[in-house]
Chain A
Amino acid sequence: MTAMTFTLVANPPERLDLSLLTPEKLAGMSRRDIEKIQLGTSKRALTVADIFRVSGDDLQNIVFDGGSDRFDRVAAQLTGGSVRVAGDVGAQAGRNMRGGNLLVEGSAGPHAGSGMRGGRLEIMSDAGDRLGGPLAGELAGMNGGMLIVRGRAGAFAGDRMRRGLIAVLGGSGDHAGSRMIAGSLVIAGGTGAMPGYLMRRGSIFLDRAPENLSPSFVECGAPESAFAALFDRYLVAEGILGLPLLGKAPRKYSGDNAVLGMGEVLFPRSRGS
């Protein structure tokens, strides 16, 4: 069996909703049926066949050959199997994922991994704003699973995160980990203004001292921590980082005391200012 492959033949003239092209939703469909699925979001009513050439037969293994920043909601509600995009994706990639693997070889738009509860989402290049964050009105953002961005993330990465792990390796914009409820957020490569802004609980791990933490965080010294070593080993074992991030006794700030104040920001003693 070869992977179910959607080869991009024409640049999409409008935003597409690709949430229907997941292993679970395609199960049992013939190629003819698949080609008739509507992807367009306007009155043009674009179908799969208008945009893609379809080949392959392994529905557990879906490949988009070619991407676009108009590919919205790729692998939304994914529960199992794998989806790979050889290119960029638009907004809400992996939205509400519960399992399986999504690999984006290019960049992702805003709200990548929004509300995901399980599975693994990896973005090889950059991600937009509100990585893993909730849509308007929702009370929690990422709720489980693993989200890795090899490039840079925009503002509000991990907004209202509640569980799971986010790792951003190329630095982030302002307010990373804003309003975090719980969970773990790793950012290597520097952060913008006020990481952990209004975080209630949860942990933010940095590779250097934060430059402009909110004044409502309190410095807590650098106690020796068995957890830091354990977490370092986990990141290396998962292939997220090549070298340990925190070391034996990382420095620690706790906050944000403007709200509950039970969150922590950890970073290694040796590097940074």
Chain B
Amino acid sequence: MSRQNFCGSAEHGVSRRTFFGTTMFAGATAFAANMRVMDALKNPCLASELKRQQKSVILLWLGGGASQFETWDPKPGRPTGGPFRAISTDTPSVQISELLPKMAQRLKTTAIIRSLNTRNADHGGGTRLMECGRAVEQAVDYPDLGALIARELGRADSQVPDYVSMYSETEGRHKGGPGFLGARYAPTFLTESMIPPNIRRPESIPEVDHQERADLQKLLAKRFAEKRYNASVASHGMAYERVRGIMASETLFDINQEPQSARDFYGPTQFQEQCLIARRLVEAGVPFVKVARAWWDSHGQNFETHLELCADLDQGMSALLDDLKQRGLLDSTLVITLAEFGRTPGINASLGRDHFASAWSCTLSGCGIKGGSVYGKTDPDGHKVEDGEMKAGDLFATIFAALGVDYKKEYHLGARPIPIVDFGCKPVPEILA
């Protein structure tokens, strides 16, 4: 009888053996038997070493679509360039918009991609595309980047959330989610309140009872889970096991825990405060944090809009990079600054720029990235990509490569293999360290 692994992958033959070893080492925990199944089905194989390195991602999401002209790919003096200048940076020969003066001094941490051609200039579709790294297809519920990273870099028994998404503004607010990876990788989604729901012990139960009640539940559940080799059952145990740890992580979301100097360093805006929360989370081992800053959808008054929003972004992003660096976290934290698309070269009658997905920019900073590099090129007026065209999937492949995640790996949905990045997509080695 040929042994059939649940996901049909020969890879598990190896990883399961590896896992037996660790299980024995860890001792007979309540869910050991099921963790075995959990591993076979759910957990990234042979990823333990990667996880030990505690890599993290912070995604700064510019909801509504920031203009590449007023940020990373200025075209001063051109008809499409708008009123702002380009300024020199700490990297010779690289210029960015004068609206990002602080980032101009920190490009040595950052790679600029100027050649995204993603072809979807619709908010909903563009968002799904840039969140999942591929066009949405009806047959498969794809996970978004946060869920993919949570799965690849998170620990199954993590005591902190492994996908936190902060989206305070309403424009483009979208929870995203784990798709076929399952609820284990669903985001802790924070909108109005920065305190996750149900994270506090209710007053009706004393602390000691809360703890011992959980212990009793675990003890009683053990008998049930023991002989049932089922990943869903295992996930139930895992979820309850994580409750106490997640509750303890409540303080991570509280920036009052930071000294005033740190808060001043980041700045007073909501976005800047959330950048600080992101750093606190990453420092505590959260593998993926998204901070959304919306209202970039500047169909009218594009230049005033960017004057204001770029200042917010410039301060928040540069403070975050500085802080991560000072704490020795930048080598293990990848900061992605991305939107659903860019904005048109043409300036409309309301002095706005409209949706544009044919030639736009994003940045990658920190972990695995060759700082000071620029990849891709648009034509002099920014109408189209002239060199190094990248699709959403290429960006995702580059992100995975920067983190040391095998971008060629496949998940299995039943018998169907689903590659982690879209077909034919490859990382861009030029901007990888």
* B is a partner of A: no
Q: Which residues of A contact B (CB under 8 A)?
A: none
